[in-house]
């Protein structure tokens, strides 16, 4: 029983302390007569005044005080911020973060200093900026990332922070670069049609040779590996292996951090021969002309390069007729039982593109602005070229009297289709891709009514007519 009484008294005392503490921190709202700032060294007072949510003459409360502290911390310039109240005067006490005076690098041979300085600036660490331990950690990670990209996985970075006068610090990054990691093995698993040495010979990456000291071909790089994987994929796709895929790629770094092994798992699939090539979609009534552009040959192995060349030739040819946004897709119809594939070239001309302005025409090129839904594109094309234009292409000019008199004396040369060696079927109405079928005014349909009266009366009439339809 005594123990329970002791616990009860203890809890009551603690509760009283909490209540007392809360009452001591709480500030009754008051009108601010003055605001003072203490602890500034380099930061201008105006920076703080602009960030404070309270001004002289405003009513101060605990909520505004918390918002002021949060706003000042968000500037990233201060290690500590306190707000004290002395009568009706608000005192803002700050402790500034040190400023980075200089950044030095020791032991860096792989990179120029300017490259490293720029990479650290990108993470927020540079001369003249406030020093932040979190930014320092990010800077170390950025330096390590730079070295990893150069296959220096064993690189170590040690940072020294040296305080100096006027609340500044010097930063020194000491780097032990170590030896670059080299590719000791490249394995390709799943190949059947081609031997592994042939496939590895396609790669820029290798396990080293007598020129590796210069080419650095045995240094691992993710960008180089991705390029080699695309080369491998292209090799198969141009030799009939339509369903070839790379299942996975594993890059293993040995514990010594200087040897790297690469495993590439692939599925070749079956080899397919093209059985036919068909056109589908809208070809502007010029199917025969488009067929002449096809470089895919039935009876030969599927070749992704030939498919790409054909689709590009189609889109370029659509562009000759003003369809700059034409889409051409090669859809394979696979016969797995006979290892045959029929290719269907599906075309959609989309809408025509119009030129709104010609900027420059020099030599054998012309620069123009192509009108888009959300703006315009700048184009540069070779001559000769045919442009379809909109009304904004030119602002009409009023000719001068001298120009009118001069125009009367100019002989206008008339040329026939034979003179320019043109096909008459491609000129005039016969050669036009559009024709005017009929010009007419649309017939008015439905009931019509004029609303009269004041605006309020018109709204009431409109509501009365539309409400049965809602």
Determine whether 108 is exposed, middle or buried from the number of CB atoms within 10 Å of its CB (0-12, 13-18, 19+): buried
Q: How does pLDDT run across 44-58, given as a tens digit for each residue?
A: 888 888 889 888 999
- Same-domain pairing of 170 and 196: no
Q: Final residue of a domain: which of 176, 205, 226?
A: 176
Q: Provide the token pair at 236.
A: 């198969």
Percent of the chain whose predicted confidence (pLDDT) is above 90: 33
- Same-domain pairing of 190 and 262: yes
Q: Final residue of a domain: which of 267, 299, 322?
A: 267
269: left (phi over 0), alpha (psi -120 to 50) or beta: left
Q: How does pLDDT run across 234-243, given as a tens digit for each residue?
A: 999 999 999 9
> Is residue 406 situated within a structural domain?
no
> Is residue 78 situated within a structural domain?
yes
- Same-domain pairing of 131 and 144: yes
pLDDT of residue 14: 40
- Same-domain pairing of 167 and 154: yes
Residue with tokens 């292409």: 393
Q: Produce one character per residue of 223-249: b if its CB has 16 or more CB atoms within 10 Å, e if not.
A: eebeebeeebbeebbbbbbbbbebeee
- Same-domain pairing of 219 and 239: yes
> Is residue 429 situated within a structural domain?
no
> Is residue 437 situated within a structural domain?
no
Rounded average pLDDT over 380-400: 74
Query: Residue 361's domain spans which residues?
Result: 355-393
- Same-domain pairing of 193 and 263: yes
Domain CATH for 291: 3.10.20.310
> Is residue 436 situated within a structural domain?
no
Q: How does pLDDT run across 399-438, given as a tens digit for each residue?
A: 788 888 888 888 888 888 888 888 887 787 777 777 777 8
pLDDT of residue 4: 42
pLDDT band at 26 (very low <50, low <70, confident <90, very high): low
Is the model's pLDDT at 22 over the cut of 60? no
Helix (H, G, I), strand (E, B) or coil at 38: strand
Give the total number of structural domains in the chain. 5
- Same-domain pairing of 74 and 42: yes
Query: What is the pTM for the complete model shown?
Result: 0.54
- Same-domain pairing of 218 and 263: yes
- Same-domain pairing of 232 and 247: yes
> Is residue 279 situated within a structural domain?
yes
> Is residue 62 situated within a structural domain?
yes
> Is residue 371 situated within a structural domain?
yes
Q: Final residue of a domain: which of 96, 111, 128?
A: 96
281: left (phi over 0), alpha (psi -120 to 50) or beta: left
pLDDT of residue 337: 93
Q: How does pLDDT run across 270-325, given as a tens digit for each residue?
A: 999 999 999 999 998 899 999 999 999 999 999 999 999 999 999 989 888 878 77
Q: How does pLDDT run across 116-133, given as a tens digit for each residue?
A: 888 888 888 888 888 888
Strand order of the β-sheet with 34-38 is 34-38, 89-96, 78-86
pLDDT band at 35 (very low <50, low <70, confident <90, very high): very high
- Same-domain pairing of 309 and 236: no
Average pLDDT, the chain: 84
- Same-domain pairing of 359 and 328: no
């Amino acid at each position: 029983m005594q123990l329970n009484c002791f616990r009860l008294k203890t809890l009551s005392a603690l509760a009283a302390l909490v209540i007392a503490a809360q009452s001591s921190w709480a500030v009754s709202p008051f009108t601010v007569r003055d605001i003072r700032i203490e602890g500034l060294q380099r930061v201008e007072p105006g920076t703080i005044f602009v960030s404070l949510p309270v001004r002289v003459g405003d009513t101060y409360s605990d909520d505004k005080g918390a918002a002021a502290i949060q706003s000042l911390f968000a500037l990233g310039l201060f290690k500590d911020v306190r707000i004290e109240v002395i009568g009706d005067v608000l005192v803002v006490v700050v402790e500034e973060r040190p400023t980075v005076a200089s950044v030095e690098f020791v032991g860096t041979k792989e990179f120029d200093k300017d490259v490293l300085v720029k990479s650290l600036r990108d993470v927020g660490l540079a001369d003249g900026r406030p020093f932040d331990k979190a930014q320092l950690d990010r800077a170390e990670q950025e330096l390590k990332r730079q070295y990893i990209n150069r296959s220096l996985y064993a690189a170590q970075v040690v940072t020294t922070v040296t305080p100096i006068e006027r609340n500044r610090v010097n930063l020194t990054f000491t780097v032990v670069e170590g030896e670059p990691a080299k590719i000791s093995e490249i394995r390709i698993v799943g190949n059947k049609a081609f031997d592994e040495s042939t496939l590895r010979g396609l790669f820029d990456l290798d396990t080293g040779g007598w020129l590796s000291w210069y080419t650095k071909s045995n240094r691992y790089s993710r960008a180089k590996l991705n390029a080699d994987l695309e080369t491998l994929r292209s090799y198969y796709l141009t030799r009939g292996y339509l369903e070839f895929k790379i299942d996975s790629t594993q890059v293993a770094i040995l514990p010594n951090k200087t040897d790297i092994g690469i495993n590439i798992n692939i599925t070749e699939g079956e080899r397919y021969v093209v059985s036919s090539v068909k056109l589908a979609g809208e070809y502007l009534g010029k199917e025969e002309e488009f067929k002449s552009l096809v470089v895919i040959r039935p009876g030969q192995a599927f070749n992704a390069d030939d498919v790409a060349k054909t689709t590009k030739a189609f889109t370029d040819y659509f562009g000759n007729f003003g369809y700059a946004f034409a889409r051409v897709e090669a859809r394979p119809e696979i016969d797995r039982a006979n290892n045959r594939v029929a290719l269907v070239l599906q075309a959609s001309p989309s809408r025509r593109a119009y030129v709104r302005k010609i900027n420059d025409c020099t030599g054998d090129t012309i620069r123009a602005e192509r009108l888009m839904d959300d703006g315009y594109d700048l184009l540069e094309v070779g001559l000769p070229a045919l442009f379809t234009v909109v009304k904004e292409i030119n602002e009409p000019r009023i000719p001068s009297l001298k120009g009118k008199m001069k125009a009367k004396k100019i002989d206008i040369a008339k040329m026939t289709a034979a003179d320019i060696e043109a096909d008459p079927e491609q000129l005039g109405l016969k050669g036009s891709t559009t024709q005017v079928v009929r010009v007419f005014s649309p017939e008015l349909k439905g009931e019509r009514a004029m609303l009269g009266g004041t605006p309020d009366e018109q709204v009431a009439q409109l509501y009365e007519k539309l409400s049965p339809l809602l």
